């Protein structure tokens, strides 16, 4: 019982946290037209194209939170994401934990990533996911001041673990519903070569429920987030 509870907290943010931190996109509202698959830590020249192929087969749109250093290493792969109709978000420049970082270091992490991504894909990201989902009031304030929407998740898939694909699917299966934001990792150390198959299984289940995959920008959100997203 206790182990199951701890495992649940690892993958699903507690409701009290969502209620306290309201200026964050945890998930869309139930009237959303679908659910959002998001992918962190890329781009990866081997795994990201496989994920794009799986999304194409599903007629789906995904959101990719890219690390600036990875984008500089693999700009062609980063550009491919946007050219194929998907959304590019920022996941910082070096994937460092932003908790208790100095303000100027946080700003550099964000600004350098924004430049690296925009140089590669031709668009400036408007969505930011902090590395490991960890942040403090200072980093949250800076993210907002820079006109970015802080995006977390409804459920963390755990594809970075050694768990088999069947267990990863079981983790996310209860959350195949309107408005959900799922987190995967389009890297060899993340979902790896098994990720396209997991996407396929989620697509089958979502399709049977009349749901499709959409970008985080297509989710219906609450009023205060509408205001944040509309900031220029």
Task: Give me the residue spans of the domains in the chain.
Answer: 2-229
Contacting residues for 182 by C-beta, under 8 A, at least 6 apart: 35, 36, 37, 38, 153, 154, 155, 157, 172, 175, 202
Q: pTM to 2 decimals?
A: 0.91
Interval 40-59 mean pLDDT: 97
Q: Is 74 strand, coil or helix?
A: coil
pLDDT at residue 34 tops 50:
yes
pLDDT at residue 2 tops 60:
no
Active site residue 40: yes
Return d(Cα 150, Cα 40) in angstroms, integer.
14
Interval 31-45 mean pLDDT: 97
> Which residue is associated with the tokens 């995959």?
213
Catalytic residue among 159, 185, 186, 203: 185
**pLDDT tens column, 160-172:** 999 999 999 999 9
For residue 219, give Cα distances in angstroms to 180, 214, 231: 9, 7, 17
Return d(Cα 66, Cα 115) in angstroms, integer.
12
Active site residue 185: yes
**pLDDT tens column, 113-127:** 999 999 999 999 999
Task: Kindly indicate whether the domain formed by 2-229 is annotated with CATH number 3.10.450.50.
Answer: no
């Amino acid at each position: 019982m206790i182990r199951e509870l701890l495992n649940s907290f690892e993958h699903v943010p507690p409701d009290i946290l969502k209620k306290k931190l309201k200026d964050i996109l945890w998930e869309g509202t139930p009237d959303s037209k679908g659910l959002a698959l998001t992918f962190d830590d890329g781009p990866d020249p081997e795994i990201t194209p496989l994920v794009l192929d799986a999304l194409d087969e599903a007629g789906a749109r995904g959101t990719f939170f890219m690390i600036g250093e990875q984008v500089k290493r693999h700009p062609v792969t980063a550009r491919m994401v946007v050219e194929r109709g998907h959304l590019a978000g920022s996941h910082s420049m070096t994937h460092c934990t932003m908790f208790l970082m100095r303000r100027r270091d946080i700003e550099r992490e964000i600004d350098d990533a924004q430049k690296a991504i925009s140089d590669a894909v031709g668009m400036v990201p408007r969505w930011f996911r902090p590395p490991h989902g960890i942040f403090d009031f200072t980093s949250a304030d800076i993210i907002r001041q820079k006109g970015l929407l802080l995006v977390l998740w409804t459920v963390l898939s755990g594809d970075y673990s050694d768990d088999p694909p069947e267990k990863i699917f079981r983790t996310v299966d209860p959350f195949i519903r309107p408005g959900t934001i799922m987190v995967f990792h389009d890297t060899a150390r993340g979902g790896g070569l098994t990720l396209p198959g997991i996407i396929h299984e989620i697509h089958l289940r979502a399709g049977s429920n009349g749901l499709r995959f959409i970008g985080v920008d297509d989710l219906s959100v609450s009023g205060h987030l509408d205001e944040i997203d509309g900031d220029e």
